[in-house]
Structure 1
């Protein structure tokens, strides 16, 4: 298909979308179910087991669930949070909501461990964000035998779904997408890429994410084509499974972020043992992160023996707020030199407009770098219940401010990076993702976990080493490599475990959140390490690493050398000089914090703290007198349920503390980790004294908050507020 769009200054306008034959989501499924030659829906579970069913089966599933939703009193336009583990059940319930005119709010049943949110905690947060009491976690509670026969007639302008997008502390916002937003995106991408019911697609993004749900599943219902879905963790456990599925199921359309290309390239030896046929693979949507041309070319080279077309990769751009990808282009392999730093992303799909403006909102000319804005049929009208964010995110004439930097040249859009991801040297601007790609060229660096960011206006590199023991030499090599390629001096290099490097549900690095964790003070690591040692008594190195979510050996060695820490038998303690240093650092920290806000938050925390004291007492004693033998499983389960409720309801408050004091974020991760172990049946992690149990971590967090609020442990104990 010939791509057409007109260009006026730094603006690109896709062709008009025109009237939609099927303007609402229910009509898409009803149409697909009635087509005898429609494709199938295939799910591959985390064990590799396969389930197949038809669009007609999906419609019948949805009709049974709709009967149950209505029986339970859920009405048109009611918002319903869907936190459902089984993908078929999730899709069926999503479509039940569509048929009933309800507004589904998909939420992950398995949030990333480093998000600081348990599944129950996320559910509680989303219920508040969506301002609803309705949630479905077990479809069997709403699935009836009766097939509902009456369906709602939804207006194209009515909300079809609220989709979650993460904030800086991991607490999400809800993007409102209407029926017109979603269907017009399906129409536009089908036209732009000549997609039909003959296509066969493979998706491994979560189905609660805009990529898995809208960019793949709903688009494929629109096409009535064959669609295959797999669990993301199943693919990441062995990235070659991605290509196994494509070859076996003859898929021609799929998705990958750059990190997936890198994982395949890193398995060259294993790739040679495969016997894939990739000749049919025409459309690999490449988005979610800035494109790395060198890695993309290596990916094509490694797979060339299997017949992959050299035009298969399509770099693109999109967001939850644009109903997923709305710009893309065929990747053009070639030499990557000084003036080819960024890969063009092409023209907007039908119904989409993009423009580049300066900081005041004035349109720029071609080839001028500025701020990317987008408007058009697939673009959301805003975030649900968040007027403040909507005023910040949209212009008075309805353009969405994406937060990306871009330029337009030769009728094509090129996105260079995020507004807050610029690192300068001698007047030359580089982007964090450029530096990260260069660092990952080094053999000892684990791909897709590198972050380059500014901390206290100094360049910091965080990386995940392939093995431990050589971090000092590796840091020197990283510094030399970055200086040679970019002329940049790296102030600090930190090795971190994968689990502490925050990512979104589809594997995108959360650079802003990590920068918050790293803090803005040059003395931040001294503070974090000294405080962790003080609170833990005489910890070993691995205890400190777990407490601060960062590599600590070089910092501790420096503290020992300065006489601020002592070491005996591998255990560390804070010396008198160290206590003085810590007191000074904590005092400096308090001067930077809004004390009235911290006091108000601390007063709110007191209620949760009192509740936890009672939970711990009830866990240790029955009837407040006899030691708990833990033989009464029902009693213990009730106490654990109270702990889960406390954790879920306190998370938004803890997120506000993290907003004020970013170094507190690891406490959220540690509380969630303890709760995960409790769920797994190891109840030592509720109140065990010598491990990072929930009680231990809460105690340490409370100690932090006491100091931040300008109070003392003795005073709080006297007032009855100590845990």
Structure 2
């Protein structure tokens, strides 16, 4: 049954709140299944979910949490997240989902949000709380510790309880949850979303994706991300369809399991940003996948970062023998301020793209159409038109709509769009104008009634589907003793398969002296932010506005225009001799390990004695290296061994000793 039949296209017959949606769905027989491993799954019906949430709500209330209170949700797995999320929603408790990562940037974010909110409670684990308290000590925020401890609700203390709470009286205008992202100063900004915002956008998502009650959703997107929680939990639940959730960590470790489960469950709808396609392709072995049947797939939402048409074509071609259709990849555009969705392409269409001249990408420029063969051409993916009940225009500085093929600011408005930011009237006023148009911070143009994005003026870095703030990354770099008085600027540049991070550094010395500084920058960003740097580029000065603000967008444009090609070639050549200082014996374990690292990080020059963490390995690359090692040396190495033996030579010695011990 199509959504158009179920709800007769009438917003009045659509659930008005999330509480009403779950109560409706609990009357059916559909379910949510948590995929924990290849042969480890847990299925919970929506009726059971409703019951579990009411039991947990009672415990929250007994702990002193009341309707209207705020609850920071630091869940360690999807099952826990969903249970606590719905307990809070049913109780009128405002949910604040945050990443429970153990990285310093995640801890900093939690403490910043904790201080910004109005005496929030925190749902977390005992171990995560101890890590948070330790971080507070290390970063001179020890005064927060008593408040953190007093407001924490530990998952381990949850006990089976026969008592159930009654759902609170919820109104559409009540706040459901707050999505926090980084603001213009690096401090988190809270996007406040009401039940009405969410239900309006969910209805638009279901209509725009031509959803039906026969759909089966399967996703590995994190539930702390709007695509994960709204697109692949709330939307399927509202429609009353079966949904399968696997963790992002499981996907990173076993990317082909995503395809295996799509095939096994006959999933029709899934999602992945660019890096997910790239990650799958790295490990995909057609000769070992004869069992795959992807013919049931109808859509894979592709958003969260700049979309690569070339990568989509490669993914299509690789999976075509397994029933994958060329119109499955579904380019979309969204942002937290829109709840989730702002623009959709036509679900039945293949990915569409155009070529433009990359030398005409300043605000107000008329876009020059080009071709693949022409010099300075840049391929851009079309992102469709505004979803139903949402307005979307490209405008100038004055907020006036621009003609097609004119580069400007992307503005949106509608019932799905937030009315403002948490406790930040100044930011709200600067972002939403008198006519209700919200400035997304993205820039782009309209081509044949479809949106094309070219970049961002807001200082948000999105790499591998994860959000980082330029200011935070720059501050991490500038704490390095090697930086001295030099300054750093972070921005995205085109990578092989989507957006990548470049760090620009003011520098006037010799290039060969720059290499240790570049390595230190890679290391600190990998360690403290969990992000890999594609290029570290020395520049004499930053382009700035008349008020002195760094124009990161212009740095990215200069990179695209090829202005740093000669400098990067010199840096790569200067790094080359270091890679030849030590030669591994042909066929040795060390040489095999070197080959794995070259495959995972082809752009990096690595010698056997390099500490992988000091040269800036990302968590994704680390996991990929471990996967290759596990294939080469089955059951001989744990992921934690890479921390104990962080260089190629040390790891090779460890594996050689393992072999001796087994003899």
Which TM bucket (shorter chain)? 0.5 to 0.7
Partner of residue 29 from structure 1, selected from 13, 22, 28: 22
Are the equivalent residues in 1 in contact too, given 2:269–2:299 (CA < 8 A)? Answer: yes
Cα deviation, residue 454, structure 1: 5.5
Are the equivalent residues in 2 in contact too, given 1:449–1:501 (CA < 8 A)? Answer: no
SS, match of residue 12 in structure 2: coil
Distance 1:355 1:449, change over 3 A: closer
| Mapping 1:588-603, distance limit 5 Å | none
The aligned counterpart of 1:389 is 427
| Mapping 1:237-636, distance limit 5 Å | 237-270=253-286, 273-330=289-346, 332-333=350-351, 337=355, 339=370, 341-419=379-457, 436-437=494-495, 440=496, 450-452=500-502, 500=525
Q: For 2:106 and 2:400, how far apart are their aligned partners in 1?
A: 44
Distance 1:209 1:498, change over 3 A: farther
Aligned-pair Cα RMSD in Å: 4.4
Distance 1:414 1:266, change over 3 A: same
Cα deviation, residue 223, structure 1: 0.9
Alignment pair present for 1:211 and 2:227 = yes
TM-score w.r.t. the length of structure 1 is: 0.58
Cα deviation, residue 83, structure 1: 1.1
The aligned counterpart of 2:34 is 43
Partner of residue 161 from structure 2, selected from 145, 161, 167: 145
Alignment pair present for 1:117 and 2:135 = no
TM-score w.r.t. the length of structure 2 is: 0.63
Deviations 1:117-137 (A, max 9, x none): 354x54333221222231222
Are the equivalent residues in 2 in contact too, given 1:47–1:234 (CA < 8 A)? Answer: no
Alignment pair present for 1:66 and 2:66 = no
Cα deviation, residue 293, structure 1: 0.7
Deviations 1:654-704 (A, max 9, x none): xxxxxxxxxxxx99x99xxxxxxxxx999x99xxxxxxxxxxxxxxxxxxx
Are the equivalent residues in 1 in contact too, given 2:2–2:210 (CA < 8 A)? Answer: no
Alignment pair present for 1:79 and 2:66 = no
Q: For 1:192 and 1:681, how far apart are their aligned partners in 2?
A: 44
Q: For 1:210 and 1:21, how far apart are their aligned partners in 2?
A: 21
The unaligned stretches of length 5 or more in structure 2 are 125-153, 357-369, 372-378, 461-489, 543-567, 576-580, 583-612, 618-638, 645-663
Question: How many residues in Structure 1 have an aligned counterpart in Structure 2?
Answer: 473
Q: For 1:181 and 1:27, how far apart are their aligned partners in 2?
A: 15
The aligned counterpart of 2:588 is none
Higher mean C-alpha displacement, 400-409 vs 272-281: 272-281
The unaligned stretches of length 5 or more in structure 1 are 5-14, 423-430, 441-446, 459-470, 476-491, 524-550, 559-568, 571-665, 671-679, 686-723
Are the equivalent residues in 2 in contact too, given 1:80–1:132 (CA < 8 A)? Answer: no
Deviations 1:207-237 (A, max 9, x none): 1221211121011110111111111121112
Relative contact order higher in (CA < 8 Å, ≥ 6 apart)? 1
Distance 1:275 1:142, change over 3 A: closer
| Mapping 1:698-717, distance limit 5 Å | none
Distance 1:19 1:499, change over 3 A: farther
Distance 1:285 1:217, change over 3 A: same
Are the equivalent residues in 1 in contact too, given 2:184–2:459 (CA < 8 A)? Answer: no
The aligned counterpart of 1:106 is 97
Q: For 2:432 and 2:234, how far apart are their aligned partners in 1?
A: 26
Shift >4 Å, 4+ stretches: 1-4, 167-171, 333-338, 452-458, 492-499, 501-505, 517-523
